């Protein structure tokens, strides 16, 4: 009987011992991992307007493994698209939100605004390198956004 009581007492003490382990060598991300709020950064918006710069705030410098969100605003002044297949293949796209609809694509090559509207893209930067997004058929620096992933 004493043996049974001793085993029961030890079994009840085990969870306490496990909780007392102050081991801090686990992952530095929160419970949500890469998608957690502490790993998220907002980027300046991209503006699609005829003859106007698409990125008034300049180039983006991103860190691999960080979650980013940005908005694209189209004013409807002209049908405008953005292409950047190399960039879109260097990131993991979590979601694209268009008028409250969430789209979770496997990949992306380009986007196009036929009329005024906005969308938001959430992604994790993956592959380091130099990339760009631009309005197809243009060669001006203001119609291109340079992106570096480190």
pLDDT in tens, the chain (150 residues): 666 565 666 666 655 545 555 555 555 555 556 566 678 999 999 999 998 999 988 999 999 999 999 999 999 999 999 999 999 999 999 999 999 999 999 989 999 999 999 999 999 999 999 999 999 998 889 999 999 999
HSE-CB for 9 with a 13 A CA cutoff: 6
Which DSSP state fits 127?
Answer: S
Strands 80-83, 110-113: pairing is: antiparallel
Query: What percent of the chain clears pLDDT 90, i.e. is strictly above it?
Result: 66
The answer as to whether 97 is a domain residue is: yes
Q: Answer yes or no: pTM beyond 0.85.
A: no
The answer as to whether 32 is a domain residue is: no
As for how many domains the chain has, the answer is 1
CATH code (residue 101) = 2.60.40.420
* Domain coverage including residue 116: 37-48+57-149
The answer as to whether 9 is a domain residue is: no
The answer as to whether 98 is a domain residue is: yes
* 56 closest CA partner among 65, 66, 43: 43
In whole angstroms, give the CA distance from residue 93 to residue 95: 6
In whole angstroms, give the CA distance from residue 106 to residue 35: 17
Contact 54/47 with Cβ under 8 angstroms? Answer: yes
């Amino acid at each position: 009987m004493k043996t049974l009581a001793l085993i029961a007492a030890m079994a009840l003490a085990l969870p306490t011992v496990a909780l007392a382990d102050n081991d801090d060598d686990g992952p530095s991300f929160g419970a949500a991992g890469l998608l957690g709020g502490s790993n998220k950064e907002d980027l300046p918006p991209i503006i699609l307007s005829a003859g106007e710069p698409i990125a008034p705030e300049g180039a983006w410098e991103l860190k691999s493994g960080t979650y980013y969100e940005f908005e694209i605003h189209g004013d409807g002044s002209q049908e405008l698209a953005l292409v950047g297949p190399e960039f879109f293949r260097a990131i993991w796209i979590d979601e694209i939100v268009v008028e409250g609809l969430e789209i979770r694509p496997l990949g992306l090559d380009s986007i196009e605004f036929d009329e005024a509207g906005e969308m938001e893209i959430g992604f994790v930067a993956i592959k380091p390198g130099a990339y760009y997004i631009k309005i197809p058929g243009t060669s001006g620096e203001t119609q291109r956004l340079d992106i570096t992933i480190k």
